[in-house]
Structure 1
Amino acid sequence: MTTDPSAARPGKIAGLVLIGVAAVSTVLGVVTLLGGNGDSEAGQQPPQSSAPPASQPSAAPPSTPGSEPGTSSAAPTTTTAPPITTAPPATSAPAPGSGEPGTPSTKDQPVRIYNNSTIADLASRARNDLTGHGWNVIETGNYSQGIIPTTTVYFVPGTAEEAAARALAAEFGIRVEPRFDGIKDSSPGLILIVTKDYRGAAGKE
């Protein structure tokens, strides 16, 4: 028995149509379901957020009369002039030969004069010459412990006596020497031993 293919074709078409209808129904159902959810959410009003009220601009501080807006009036500043200082009075330098403070000056050094000659009163004569020139003669006498070859003034080395002895020697034209052993332990001061060649100030009688 043979089957007519033309008779089976309408049945296939009808089956395809039913399948298409079912597919469309399925799609519509899904769309309806999704659309219903969207409508339910659309019917609800979203909560409104209350925005804070806008802040009012703060009032500008009252301006000082005579001042421009935006500028601040600074308090006037006063300056004090520095105190005037005066320099201390200048001290004069000590005169040459005056020595350090508290020590005798050149001619204030004590002088002892001893005669080592056969000329009478030669020590006294020399004393008058020295005191007449401002020297401080405190003693006169004779020196008999040896023979001094020439009139000489003696001093203690390393003391102010040296400068005084050199000044005296230059003024009277005599020799100057450190103390020798025979007089090194004598009292402080210059020791002038005069001999027969003594001629007074500047080597003159």
Structure 2
Amino acid sequence: MSLFSGLSRPLKAAGLALIGVAVIAAVIGGVSALTGGESNNTAASSPAPPPSTPSDAVPPTSGPASPPSSSGPPSSPTPPSSASPSSGAPTSGQPGQPGQGQPQPGQPGGDQQASNKWVTLRVYNNSLIKGLAERAAEDFRKAGWTVSDVSNYPDGVIPETTAYFRPGTDEEAAARQLAREFGMRAEPRFPGIERSAAGVIVIVTNNYHSPGKS
């Protein structure tokens, strides 16, 4: 005997409908359970993404610091302007100034002339004029020269009055100065007197004249 025996036809239809609805609901619930389980399994089985490392990060791009722009090369310091000499400073060569009266090149100055006179003179007579060497020596002393010896020179004839010196010594400058002052010659010593004592050797002859006398 079936479940729906004894029921009227309308009730049978309603029961069948309820059974169908229940079956459908059961099917839907089973499908939903299966789908949810698969979703959970998928979520559980899929690996988590690896944490980002510093290498993954893109570093900020930054170029080298550009030097400050300059409109041109650095300006060099301006040298201090040289101060012009004051109007009160002495100027060489002006009248009344220290530069006036200086000797020209090639001309002996007053100080140089005085310094040469410390060199001693030795005066010798080579003439027949008696006392000529003494007279010449007195003229030299009056002019500021120092005469250390007065005598005769009998060892030959000297052509004219001459002041003899040893080259390369102070005698040379002194002999040349004496020659300019008294109008005589100045020459290096010759072999007969080259070993004589130090000093300018002045050999006077007949042509010697005292200053101011003819």
Question: Does structure 1 residue 165 correspond to structure 2 residue 175?
Answer: yes
**CA deviation digits over 1:65-86, x for unaligned, max 9?**
xxxxxxxxxxxxxxxxxxxxxx
Report the alpha carbon displacement of residue 157 of structure 1 after superposing the two structures with TM: 0.6
Letter in 1 for 2:127: S
Instruction: Give 1:113's aligned residue.
Output: 123
Instruction: Give 2:27's aligned residue.
Output: 19
Q: Secondary structure at the match of 1:169?
A: helix
Report the alpha carbon displacement of residue 13 of structure 1 after superposing the two structures with TM: 5.7
Question: Does structure 1 residue 122 correspond to structure 2 residue 124?
Answer: no
Match among 176, 187, 198 for residue 177 of structure 1:
187
Report the alpha carbon displacement of residue 115 of structure 1 after superposing the two structures with TM: 0.5
Instruction: Give 1:96's aligned residue.
Output: 112
Distance, in Å, in 2 between the alignment partners of 1:28 and 1:167 is: 140
Matches of residues 125-136 of structure 1 in structure 2 within 5 Å? 125-136=135-146
Distance, in Å, in 1 between the alignment partners of 2:144 and 2:32 is: 154
User: For the structure 1 residues 22 and 97, does the alpha-carbon distance in structure 2 shift closer, same or farther, using more than 3 Å as the test?
Assistant: same
Distance, in Å, in 2 between the alignment partners of 1:26 and 1:171 is: 150
Distance, in Å, in 2 between the alignment partners of 1:122 and 1:172 is: 14
Letter in 1 for 2:195: D
User: For the structure 1 residues 109 and 19, does the alpha-carbon distance in structure 2 shift closer, same or farther, using more than 3 Å as the test?
Assistant: same
Matches of residues 31-110 of structure 1 in structure 2 within 5 Å? 95-98=111-114, 105-110=115-120
Distance, in Å, in 2 between the alignment partners of 1:124 and 1:25 is: 164
Distance, in Å, in 2 between the alignment partners of 1:188 and 1:21 is: 153
Letter in 2 for 1:142: N
TM-score by length of 2: 0.53
1:130 and 1:137 in contact (8 A); partners too: yes
**CA deviation digits over 1:107-136, x for unaligned, max 9?**
111100000011111111111111111110
Report the alpha carbon displacement of residue 162 of structure 1 after superposing the two structures with TM: 1.1
Distance, in Å, in 2 between the alignment partners of 1:28 and 1:94 is: 135
Match among 131, 145, 154 for residue 144 of structure 1:
154
Question: Does structure 1 residue 199 correspond to structure 2 residue 199?
Answer: no
Root mean square deviation of aligned Cα: 3.2
Report the alpha carbon displacement of residue 161 of structure 1 after superposing the two structures with TM: 1.1
Identity %: 45
Distance, in Å, in 2 between the alignment partners of 1:199 and 1:106 is: 22
Distance, in Å, in 2 between the alignment partners of 1:151 and 1:22 is: 162
Match among 197, 202, 206 for residue 187 of structure 1:
197
Structure 2 residues without counterparts, runs of 5 or longer: 1-12, 38-108
User: For the structure 1 residues 172 and 25, does the alpha-carbon distance in structure 2 shift closer, same or farther, using more than 3 Å as the test?
Assistant: closer
Q: Secondary structure at the match of 2:113?
A: coil
Structure 1 residues without counterparts, runs of 5 or longer: 1-6, 30-92, 99-104
TM-score by length of 1: 0.55
Q: Secondary structure at the match of 2:111?
A: coil
